[in-house]
Structure 1
Amino acid sequence: MSRLCLGVLFGGASSEHEVSLVSGASVLRNVPRDRYDVVMIGITKDGRWYHYTGEIDRIPDGSWEKEHCTPAAITPDRGRHGLTVFHPEGVENIRLDAVFPVLHGKNGEDGTMQGLLELSGIPCVGCGTLASAACMDKTVTRTLLEQAGIAGVRWEKVMCYEMDSFDEIEARIEKNLGYPVFVKPANAGSSVGISKARDKDSLKAALEKAFVHDRKVIVEEAVVGDEVECAVLGNDDPFVSVVGEIVPEADFYDYDAKYKDGTTALYIPARIEPEVAQEIRRTARQAFLALHCAGFARVDFFVRKSDRKVLLNEPNTIPGFTDISMYPKLMEHSGVPYPQLIDKLVQLAMERAGANG
C-alpha cells in the first residue's frame, strides 16, 4: 500500500504557541513512517507560514524558525489540494492527503483552521468547523450542553463593555455563584488567563486579566472535588478511554501545570468509584455527540466531593500531545499506543471527509 502524505501543522498565532511546538514535535516523532510521508508546516507566533525541512528536535524550543524554512501556505484552491511552497526559483505544490493541525487555542482550535481545510478539500484530523468553534467558546459550550441535559458548574457571562457596571456584576456573581469563583476568557484554552477570585477586589483583577485575552469572560463556581478526564476517539460511534485523575499542586490545573512543570500528579485509572467512572465515560460520549465532535476530544469533569455528582467542566478539541499530556496517556492505557493513535486519527479524518464528500 502506498504511503499517504500527511501535513502536520505546529506553532500558530496563539497564546499557546509554545506548547503547540512541543505537542507538534511529539506527534511528528510518533507518526508511523511506513504509512505516511510527512510534510512539516510551521506557523510563527506572528502568523507566518513555512514549509520546514529541518530536524524535529529543533521545533520545541522555537529554533526551527532559523533555517530550513521556506515560505508556504495551504491554499483554499481545491485544484491544488495542499501546500503551496514559494521557492526563490518558483512555486512548488505539495499535494496533501490529510492535515493534522496540532494547534492549541485561537487560530487553530477554534474553527478557523478547520474552515480553511474544509475549503481546500483536505481531510482534517479532529473536529470540524462548527464543533471546533462551539467548543472553543465556553459560554456556547455550556449553553449547548445544558440544552442536551448534561450537568455542569453554575456560571455567569461578563462582557468587557459591562465593566462600567462592575458593582452590579459583582453583586450578581456573589448572589448566584458565591465566592470563590474561577474567571476565564471565554475563547482561550488550556488555562490561559484564568484566575481564582475570592472577593470583590480579586474578582475585578481577575476580570481585567481575562479581558486581555477575550472580550467575553465566563465566571464559574468553584467546585470542591475530584478533577478527572477521559479521552474520546471516533466519529459517529466513538470509543471512550478509561478515566484519569489530575491532582495539581497549584490552586488549580493551570497552564504551567498542564504543559511545563510536570508537578501535577496523574492517576490512570482515576481513584474513583466504578459507577462514577462509568457515568463519566457515558457522559463524555453523550457530550461528544451533542457538540458534533469528530475524531478526538478530551472531556474534563469534576466529581463534587459532597454528593459525588458528576459535572462536565469542558471539552478540548485539540488536547495537548506532549509527553506529560493526558490524552495520549489515557489512550495508551486503554490499549491504543501513540503511533497507532495517530494512524487512527488520520483514518477517521479521511472517513469523515469521504462521507461529507
Structure 2
Amino acid sequence: MSSPLLRLVVLYGGVSAEHDVSRVTAAHVLAAADRGRYTLVPVGIAKDGSWHRNDFAAAALAAGDDIGNSLDIEGPVVDPVEVITGASDVTTVVFPLLHGPHGEDGTVQGMLELHKVPYVGCGVLSSSLCMDKGMAKEVAARAGIPQCRWVTLRHGVDDPRAGAARAIDELGLPVFVKPANMGSSVGVSRAGTAEELDRAITEALRYDDVVVIEEAVTAREIEVGVLGNGVPETTLPGEIRPGSDFYDYTDKYVTGAAQLMIPADLPDAAIAQARELAGQVFVALRCAGMARVDFFYEEDGRGWLLNEVNTIPGFTPASMYPKMWEATGLAYPDLIDRLVALALDVYRRRSSFSIEHA
C-alpha cells in the first residue's frame, strides 16, 4: 500500500493590513504545490479573525482546476486547533502565508508550537524579532552587521515631536519613516521636511506603536533569498529598481512599475559578499526555514547595509524570493518541497528534546 499523502495546511488572509497580499501569495503556492505529494488544505483567516476551511478551492485543486490569482475567504468556519492538527494517522505540516502582524510575528508560530504541529519557516523568536524592525536592528548591530543609521520612537514612551527633532539632528533630512511591525511597505513614508516628518510619524502610528526612522541612502536595493536550518543556502542576488521615489506598496502590487533584475548586475566579489552577509544575518537573527534579506548597496560608500529581514517573503508572480531561487537553480515546486522538508526536520529535532531533569 502506498503511504498517505502529507497534509499541507496553507494559512492565508489574516487580520493585518497585508491581508490581500497574503491571499494572492497563497493562491500561487497552492497552484504550484505537487498534488501527487500533498493533500492541500486551504484555510483562510478573515479580517475578523475567524478561520474558514476553503472547501471550494480544495475541490478545485483536487480536480486540477485553476483557482485563479487570489483566494477568497470562504467556506465553513472551523476550529483552529482541529484544522491544524488534522487526522492522527496523517502527517500535517502548516505553511503560514500570513504577512504582517498576527501571522508573521510569532503569534501563529507559538500556537503551532503549543499544539506540536510542524510548520514552515522561522520559529517564535526569530519571527517576532524580524517583524519588529527596531529590535531586529538592535540585535543585528550587536552582531556587527552593517546598517544605515536609525532612530526608534515608541508610542506612550517617547514624545513624537521630541523624537522627530532628535531624528533630524542625528540623521538629517530626508528620512524614511516605517511602522516597526508591518511589511509590504504599508505605512511607509519619505519625509523631506520637519512638517512631512510629523505627518509621516502620525501615519506610521496608525499601524503600530513603534516607529523606525531611517536615514535616506543613495544606494541600490538588493535582495538575497536564504534557505536552511543549520548552514544556510543563499540565492544569487536580485535588484529592485523602483518605479517611484521608493519601492512602495503601489509599486509592488498595483502598478508593477518596478523593475526586478535577477540576477543583479554586480561584480563576482560583490555577489559573494552579499550572499555571505545574508547568511550571517540569517544566523544572527535565529532564522530557520526561509527568509529574504534586503540590503542597500552603496557602491562608492559603505558597501553593504542591512535594510530588513522578511521571514515570510511573498510568493506572488512578482515576488523576488521564488524568482531568485529559480535563477539559482531551484524551481518553484521544488522550493515548496524543500521548505516542507526543513519544517519536518526542525519538528523532529525539537520533539527529541528531553523534558526530564537529569
Same fold (TM over 0.5): yes
Tell me if 1:151 matches 2:151. no
SS of the residue corresponding to residue 19 of structure 1 reads: helix
- The aligned amino acid for 1:82 is T
C-alpha contact (below 8 Å) 1:15/1:105 kept by paired residues:
yes
Tell me the residue number matched to 2:356: none
Tell me the residue number matched to 2:40: 38
C-alpha contact (below 8 Å) 1:81/1:96 kept by paired residues:
no
Tell me if 1:350 matches 2:348. no
Cα–Cα, structure 1 residues 106 and 135, in superposed 2: closer, same or farther, change >3 Å? same
For residues 293-308 of structure 1, what are the structure 2 equivalents within 5 Å?
293-307=287-301
Tell me the residue number matched to 2:95: 100
How far the C-alpha of 1:292 sits from its partner, in A, is 0.8
Q: Distance in 2 between matches of 1:8 and 1:94?
A: 19
C-alpha contact (below 8 Å) 2:176/2:213 kept by paired residues:
yes
Tell me if 1:274 matches 2:268. yes
Cα-Cα RMSD: 1.9
For residues 254-333 of structure 1, what are the structure 2 equivalents within 5 Å?
254-307=248-301, 309-333=303-327
How far the C-alpha of 1:203 sits from its partner, in A, is 0.2
How far the C-alpha of 1:273 sits from its partner, in A, is 2.2
SS of the residue corresponding to residue 242 of structure 1 reads: coil
- 1:293-338 deviations in Å (ceiling 9; x for gaps): 0000000000014325100100000010101100000001111100
C-alpha contact (below 8 Å) 1:96/1:122 kept by paired residues:
no
How far the C-alpha of 1:25 sits from its partner, in A, is 0.4
Tell me the residue number matched to 1:124: 119
Tell me the residue number matched to 2:227: 233
Identity %: 45
Q: Distance in 1 between matches of 2:157 and 2:195?
A: 16
SS of the residue corresponding to residue 341 of structure 1 reads: helix
Provide TM-score, normalisation by structure 1: 0.91
Q: Distance in 2 between matches of 1:62 and 1:9?
A: 11
C-alpha contact (below 8 Å) 2:296/2:306 kept by paired residues:
yes
Cα–Cα, structure 1 residues 25 and 61, in superposed 2: closer, same or farther, change >3 Å? closer
For residues 6-25 of structure 1, what are the structure 2 equivalents within 5 Å?
6-25=8-27
Cα–Cα, structure 1 residues 164 and 307, in superposed 2: closer, same or farther, change >3 Å? closer
Q: Give ranges in structure 2 of 5+ residues lacking alignment.
A: 61-65, 352-358
What is the count of residue pairs matched by the alignment? 342
Tell me the residue number matched to 1:141: 136
Q: 2:179 aligns with which of 181, 185, 206?
A: 185
Cα–Cα, structure 1 residues 130 and 162, in superposed 2: closer, same or farther, change >3 Å? closer
- The aligned amino acid for 1:196 is R
Cα–Cα, structure 1 residues 94 and 47, in superposed 2: closer, same or farther, change >3 Å? farther
Q: Distance in 2 between matches of 1:10 and 1:153?
A: 33
Tell me the residue number matched to 2:354: none
How far the C-alpha of 1:275 sits from its partner, in A, is 1.4
Q: Give ranges in structure 1 of 5+ residues lacking alignment.
A: 84-91
C-alpha contact (below 8 Å) 1:81/1:121 kept by paired residues:
no
How far the C-alpha of 1:178 sits from its partner, in A, is 0.7
Tell me if 1:219 matches 2:213. yes
SS of the residue corresponding to residue 278 of structure 1 reads: helix
Q: Distance in 2 between matches of 1:162 and 1:132?
A: 24
Cα–Cα, structure 1 residues 157 and 64, in superposed 2: closer, same or farther, change >3 Å? closer
- The aligned amino acid for 1:118 is E
